[in-house]
Every structure is written in C-alpha cells, then in structure tokens.
Amino acid sequence: MKKIVVAGAGGFIAGYLVKELIKKGHIVRAVDIKPLNEWYQVFPEVDNLVLDLRIKENCFTAVNGYSEVFNLAADMGGMGFIENNKAACMISVLINTHLLIASRECGIDRFFYSSSACVYNGDKQTDLNNPGLKESDAYPVLAEDGYGWEKLFSERMCRHFVEDFGLITRVARYHNVYGPYGTYDGGREKAPAAICRKVIEASINGKKEIIIWGDGHQTRSFMYIDDCIKGTIDIMYSNIEEPINLGSSEMVSINELVDIVEEIAGYRLERKYDLDAPKGVRGRNSDNNLIKQYLNWEPSIPLRKGMKKTYDWIKEQLLHDSKEKKGINRLNK
C-alpha cells in the first residue's frame, strides 16, 4: 500500500487512474483546480483537494505526507484548443516545476510526468503514412508550438531533477487518449469524441451532413483509456529512465475514423471539409519498439472496440441532455 498524489485528478485520464489506484488498495490524494462538481469522476474514499497547482505553496500542500506523485495536470484540449491557447498551455510549466520542487523538498520517492506526442519534430510528421515516431524523433526540436514546447521543457526538468537531486522520475508520451468520461463538446474535445458527438447529433436531429476539420486524410493513432492506465502504472514502476511512447500503433485517417463511427451508428453522412480549421500535423503514429522491449507489452485494444464504448457513452449523455432540455422547455411554456 502506497500513499499517492494524483495531480489533475478531476480530468479524464487521471480520474481513471485514481479509480485504478483505489482498486489496488493505495491511499490516494486527488488534486485538481476545478470545483469538485466539475470533476469527471469523484471518489469520496480519497482525499479530494481543490488547488491551483500553478502556485508553489499549493504544490507543497498537495504532496506533503505522501510518497509518490502522478502529475497529469495541464491546461489542454484537442487541436482547436491547443492552436488557439498557446500561452495558457505554456503556463502549465509552473505546475510541473513547482510539483518537482515540492516533491524534492518533501521527500517524494517517485514522480510520474504525463508528456505528449506533441513534443515530436513537426518535420517528421509530414507523411500521411507515418511509419511511427521513435522517442529520438523529439530532437532536433520542432515541437508543437505552445503545448508541445511546454511538455518537452517539463520532460527536461524531470531529467535534471534525476541528475541533480536523485529524484526518481518516469515520463510517458501519450498519443491521443480517448474513451468514456472524456470531453465531447465545448472546444476541448479531441477527434474521436468530436466525431462521435457530430454523428450522434446528426442522427438525433435528422441531419445529413458532417463538418470535418482539414481534408480528412490526416492520420493519427488513438489509444483507449484502459491501455493508457495500464501503461502509465507499468511505466511508473519500471526501470525506464528515458521518456517513452505510450500509444497505439493502429493508425487511421480521420476519414477512416468517421467511417468507423458511422458504422457503429448505422448512419451515413455527407462530408464537408473545413480546410481552414485547426488540423495539426499530416501524419502521426506511435513507434512501440521501445515499450515492447522494456515491458513486453504495447497498447492493443482495437480502435473499433474502444470507439463503440465511447460512442455508446456519449450517446447516453446527449440523449440525457436532450430530455432535460425538453423538460425545461415544457416547464417554461
């Protein structure tokens, strides 16, 4: 049994992580900046704290008395958010920096940092048939402006806290995590959830058209949340000292992702392409040779299986919201 702090616990991935750590019998402190009623998942049996971890003093409050830290806290979202909020994304550097300082001074034994595939050199992501980004492809540096640069800088901070102070740190580069209990509207959602929402809303409202950002040929790999949580925990307690990919190697185009969702929904739509919308790099995939070498494992939940679970959950939320709105409208008549 360990005493573990999860930073960003009100978010999508960290909520699942808290759930898994509870299941394993650990004592957990969950920390997030959002009010508790806005957390994706809340577990009353843990110590839930609402703190702004950009503030140094709050990081000491968060880690004091505990032995390990998982840092998944960041101001982030899908490509639309990242491209239009570069300063906000960069300010997240304060969270990791202050957590590292507090962890060192409070005697934390082990520290995990959630990085991103956005650290990778953009020139290595121009091919739609991307063979997979190796960990070494982060250098020479040409990271995603704002978000990617912050992630890469924070990776280096972890490295130097190992070299200078002996703090054990582990870093995973997440590739497009999706699943139930994730953001599906409001501007921070990523492609799997956004496409599910668009197809569901069209089917509910009888619409025949879907707007796709870019030309639909851009390629990505998407990792289901269960694989992400297993990989995160395994990497934390491994001997992997360098940043490592944590992502699926099942690459698809955005058009193919829409195909999958339409098949799940049993509903076909005419596609309209917004070529001026944020669309990111042309091709991104995860090279999993290193994680297979270290852990004899890689994320492997099939995209269609994960998308079916995600689609069903988002549909349930949207139908519930629709019923509530109808009820309010009836009351206001």
Token pair listed for 60: 């000491």
Please tell me which residue in 120, 147, 184, 311 is annotated as part of the active site: 147
d(CA 281, CA 106): 40
Q: How far apart are the first and last CA of the chain?
A: 56
Q: Which tokens is 138 given?
A: 């982060």
- Cis omega before residue 140 (within 30°)? yes
147 is a catalytic site residue: yes
φ/ψ (deg, to 5) at 47: -85, 100
Cβ neighbours of residue 261 closer than 8 Å, sequence gap 6 or more: 195, 196, 199, 307, 311
Closest CA to 194 of 61, 322, 81: 81
Q: How far is it between the farthest Cα atoms of the chain?
A: 67
Closest CA relative to residue 165, chosen from 73, 100, 249, 68 = 100
List the catalytic residues: 147
